[in-house]
Amino acid sequence: MGESKYVPGLEGVVACQTRLSMVDGARGRLVIGGYDVDQLAERASFEEACTLLWRGALPAKEEVPGIRKELAALRALRPETLDIIRTARNAPPIDALRMACATLSLDVSNPNDLSGAGDLAMAKRLAARFPTVVAAHSRLRQGLDPIPPRPELSMAENFLYMVFGEKPHPAAAKALDTYWVTVIDHGMNASTFTSRVIASTRSDMVSAVTGGVGALKGPLHGGAPGPVLDMLVDIQSADRAEDWLKKELAAGRRIMGFGHRVYKVRDPRAEVLARAAREMAGADLHNKKLYDLACAVEQIALRVLEEHKPGRNLKTNVEFYTALVLQSIGLSPDQFVAMFACGRVGGWCAHVMEQHGQDRLIRPQSEYTGPIHETTRA
């Protein structure tokens, strides 16, 4: 066996084999369950995309109503979970979700059932309840009572109804559905890797997904869409963009919404969400002035970044248009990471199921850099 080599950040290290998604950073391609992300977002709802990852195939058209009905029946939260959310009503939404997530197995007779059937049942609970948790927290921190879910509404429609108290505009529900499908899975990212490591110990799905939520919270992973809005508000108008961007770069600060650890071209998810933002603007549900500003800033930023950081390939990433889509449906920036989790939970659960099936402990080596003290015996 050859000597192991230390690779900072595990860059380029293949940690597992998966059928769930493929990220091609050089060509800007994301394949989820066999479909390019733009194709999947166009043809599948979030419920269908979850089914694709969990079962390995999109459901037949006649199956979809039954799948939606089954997931809708699992949305309601236990009193213990609502108590946790009430206690955490002043905490950031992603922290409230992390706390609540750990309680979502309380109504399961055997939460440690790692069989395919047991994992699938738990995956359905988690995907159905994550939006309910975030919606309940949104209401409680405003001093309002949570609104019970409505089973006849889709996942996206129901979330918006539970937050705002009225059935949403179809364009808003569609935009949210598109967002959740777009972020449902993305290769071996930090939170997915965290979930798989936990699952590899034969720990249960709720424990693994709770760990994934904790990893997603970090600003280097899921915590950066909000500052995109701050940037656009600060720029104010397209004629101010170039000077503003150059000053940020001169100060050594990052331009939010640009650059990605993997993609060397435009993030394919950015293209999908740019269309969603455009459709929201066309439906008069989005601040068209802000949308137009964002489009202008994107083009100016790409040019300025290439001039100041040639060869770095700092292209538009998913965060840029995520901010516009989520803001346009009425959510605040501090809710964005929790919304990311509501979409990514479908992928986390699928990876946990896959890891349990492989049943192999993930145990990398470390390279010791500390001292070794010589001792003498009397």
Answer whether 43's CB lies under 8 Å from 57's CB: no
To 5 degrees, how large is the angle CA 361–CA 349–CA 111? Answer: 80
Amino acid present at 116 = G
What span, in angstroms and rounded, lies between the C-alpha atoms of 60 and 57? 9
pLDDT tens column, 34-65: 999 999 999 999 999 999 999 999 999 999 99
pLDDT tens column, 81-121: 999 999 999 999 999 999 999 999 999 999 999 999 999 99
Query: What integer pLDDT is reported at residue 1 of this predicted model?
Result: 45
Does residue 275 have a pLDDT over 80? yes
**Residues labelled catalytic:** 260, 319
**SS3 letters for the chain?**
CCCCCCCHHHCCCCCCCCCCEEEECCCCEEEECCEEHHHHHHHCCHHHHHHHHHHCCCCCHHHHHHHHHHHHCCCCCCHHHHHHHHHCCCCCHHHHHHHHHCCCCCCCCCCCCCCHHHHHHHHHHHHHHHHHHHHHHHHHCCCCCCCCCCCCCCHHHHHHHHHHCCCCCHHHHHHHHHHHHHCCCCCCCHHHHHHHHHHHCCCCHHHHHHHHHHHHCCCCCCCCCHHHHHHHHHHCCHHHHHHHHHHHHHCCCCCCCECCCCCCCCCHHHHHHHHHHHHHHHCCCCCHHHHHHHHHHHHHHHHHHHHHCCCCCCCECHHHHHHHHHHHCCCCHHHHHHHHHHHHHHHHHHHHHHHHHHCCCCCCCCCCCCCCCCCCCC
Answer whether 71's CB lies under 8 Å from 155's CB: yes
Least confident of 20-24, 139-143, 327-331: 327-331
* Beta strand pairing call for 21-24 and 29-32: antiparallel
* Topology adopted by domain 226-328: Cytochrome p450-Terp; domain 2 (1.10.230)
What span, in angstroms and rounded, lies between the C-alpha atoms of 68 and 154? 7
Answer whether 280's CB lies under 8 Å from 325's CB: yes
Q: Which two tokens stand for residue 69?
A: 């009905």
Q: What is the mean pLDDT of the segment spanning 315-341?
A: 93
Residue 282: band (very low, low, confident or very high) from pLDDT cuts 50, 70, 90: confident
* Cα dihedral across residues 150, 155, 157, 162: positive or negative: positive
What span, in angstroms and rounded, lies between the C-alpha atoms of 182 and 44? 10
What span, in angstroms and rounded, lies between the C-alpha atoms of 122 and 112? 10
Q: Which two tokens stand for residue 104?
A: 């979502």
Query: What integer pLDDT is reported at residue 5 of this predicted model?
Result: 85
To 5 degrees, how large is the angle CA 329–CA 227–CA 345? Answer: 60
Distances (CA, A) of 3 to 234, 267, 367: 52, 36, 11
Does residue 377 have a pLDDT over 80? no
Does residue 314 have a pLDDT over 50? yes
Superfamily of domain 40-220+334-358 in CATH is Citrate Synthase, domain 1 (1.10.580.10)
Domain boundary assignment for the chain: 40-220+334-358, 226-328
Residue 284: band (very low, low, confident or very high) from pLDDT cuts 50, 70, 90: low
pLDDT tens column, 196-226: 999 999 999 999 999 999 999 998 888 666 7
Query: What integer pLDDT is reported at residue 220 of this predicted model?
Result: 82
Does residue 356 have a pLDDT over 90? yes
pLDDT tens column, 157-199: 999 999 999 999 999 999 999 999 999 999 999 999 999 999 9
Share of the chain above pLDDT 70, in %: 96
pLDDT tens column, 122-141: 999 999 999 999 999 999 99
Does residue 2 have a pLDDT over 60? no
Does residue 374 have a pLDDT over 90? no
Query: What integer pLDDT is reported at residue 4 of this predicted model?
Result: 75
Adjacent-strand bridge partners of 226 = none
Average pLDDT over the chain, rounded to an integer: 93
Query: What integer pLDDT is reported at residue 286 of this predicted model?
Result: 56
pLDDT tens column, 287-299: 688 889 999 999 9
